[in-house]
Structure 1
């Protein structure tokens, strides 16, 4: 059957339905999210179990969708022991005759799988984001939200004419880079932690070694002093001390006699100097044999 459009109606002979207009627009505008602004229909974390779909526009099968303000979406309560994935979609619903945001939840599981998109004659869905709802969580963080807008197989970006931009390769490359960067960052962080722990361990070992060295030095010093002091005590017993005192007194007496001879201006004879012994004494003068004396 041949079809053509659109012409003016004459007496009501040209009546066009919405489907025909949608078919017309779909022929040169592909499905997806409008790329301007870059946050168009982006899913962001809200408060508690809520997320928000940012303002933006989408195009599905020739039909136009426009979210004029941030749209809050509250997710169901998390399972107590299992995880799930909530897929945030923009759904074109021919039966309901509208396009709206909806949430599709996977079955709870240890490793859940995102629910499939419906794309048939009755409904067509674009995935905006996947949200990982962990077991027992009470709030959604941005880290749990995976943006799917650039994935051409799930959503894609609107482009004219005829088809949308193929963002599959770009999205795959971006996700691969992010995965590599994340893995590298984790490895570098673990290396840094290991290095810091090794420094801490080395510091503890060196401090313990220094502490042991100082304790040994203190003990050795105390032992050396005590040994020296004990030796000194053995040398300076009562007999040794008394002997030293006698020597000092004898030397003092002899020094006094020498001073008397040398410094008291003795010039007349006779005079007498007595010595206990002659150890260390050197005398000069004239020997008087008759009187048995040295005369100075």
Structure 2
């Protein structure tokens, strides 16, 4: 099915009238063209240049309208040069407001510049603009001029620029940038209502299924936990028994080791004691024999030397007794030839080791 209005396409000649002019099948008037532009761009003056159709004071009661371009309901007006309007004389009392207007005139098929006076009053109001949805005229106001009583010259301070005020005129903008989303939201709300209804209808069933799933999950988790606990307890008991057995064996082996060590210490101590007693007896007998031999023959330095040897023997015996008591044996380190090992400073190196008796 075709659209009721569409365009533009080339026309074809379908015949000729009585005067011989061709009859075209797609001939259109300006209404379709104006309709197209009114759906694309808004009413108003162009934003550039900034003084497009700006109203300024001229001489006397005259004002100048700068060159510019304007769109009114899909039709345009363009002045490449300034235009001039001479206002009516000022009221004799009170004051008035005069509107400078760009008007779409369907009767004369044009866009024109006019002015309209408001009523004179102490507090005057602007004249009303003609802006019907359909009709012979449609108006946009470029400026409002306040005229004092008996005023003969229009000053720039009397002029209020209304070109950028959308309630009077406005600036041309692209209407496509504004989207009407009411239909979309109507559909969205309908979908939402339907979704909520289905959700509410199925919510109870959803809760039951979720509860069943939870119970199944809880049962499986509990079974798994119990299995793990049982296995853990069994393994832990076995581990504990093995640790106790190993610990008992360790204590038994440690006790046997200390017993053997103690017995060895006692045996070694008895042997050392016997050897010391035999050594002491032998040395005492040898000393007595020697002493009898030299007794009465020693005098002077010889006697002193013997005394020193005796003192040295006593010191050695005392040191040996000390080693036995402290259980620490020490001796000089020497070579196979019998030479003592010494440090760089001449100190004799000694070795020391301990033995324990248990």
Give TM-score, length-normalised by structure 1: 0.54
Quickly say closer, same or farther: Cα 1:72–1:163, change in 2 above 3 A.
farther
| 1:153 pairs with 2:148 | no
Cα distance change, pair 163–86 in 1 and its aligned pair in 2 (3 A): farther
Q: Among 95, 113, 116, which residue is 2:107 paired with?
A: 95
- 5+ residue gaps, structure 2: 14-23, 179-358
Query: 1:84 aligned to 2:96?
Result: yes
Residue 56 of structure 2 corresponds to which residue in structure 1?
Answer: 44
Match of 2:137 in 1: 123
Deviations 1:132-173 (A, max 9, x none): 000111101011100000101110001224479xxxxxxxxx
Deviations along 1:38-76, one digit per CA (max 9) or x if unpaired, are: 000000001111111011010011111001111111111
Give the secondary-structure state (helix, strand or coil) at the position aligned to 1:26.
helix
Match of 1:31 in 2: 43
Q: Name the residue aligned to 1:60.
A: 72
**Is contact 1:30–1:163 with CA below 8 Å preserved after alignment?**
no
Which protein shows a greater Rg? 2
Aligned with residue 120 of structure 2, among 108, 112, 135 = 108
User: Is this contact kept in 2: 1:127–1:149, CA < 8 A?
Assistant: yes
Count of aligned residue pairs for this structure pair:
164
Q: Give the 3-state SS of the residue equivalent to 1:76 in structure 2.
A: coil
For the aligned residue pairs, the C-alpha RMSD in angstroms reads 1.4
SS at match of 1:20: helix
Cα distance 1:140–1:67, how it changes in 2: closer, same or farther (>3 A)?
Answer: same
Q: 1:8 aligns with which of 10, 21, 27?
A: 10
Residues 163 and 60 (structure 1), Cα distance of their counterparts in 2 relative to 1, 3 Å cut: farther
Runs of 4+ in 1 over 6 A off after TM superposition: none
Cross-structure match for 1:204: none
**Gapped runs of 5+ residues in structure 1?**
165-296
Q: Secondary structure at the match of 2:111?
A: strand
Q: Normalised by the size of structure 2, how large is the TM-score? A: 0.45
Q: After the TM superposition, which residues 161-176 of structure 1 pair with which residues of structure 2 at under 5 Å, given as runs?
A: 161-162=175-176
Greater helix content: 2
Q: Secondary structure at the match of 2:40?
A: coil
Give the whole-Å Cα distance in 1 for the aligned partners of 2:42 and 2:93: 41
Correspondence for 2:306: none
Distance (whole Å) between structure 2 residues aligned to residue 75 and residue 131 of structure 1: 10
Matches within 5 A, 1:192-207: none
CA contact (8 A) 1:28 1:163 kept: no
Deviation at 1:84, TM superposition (A): 0.5
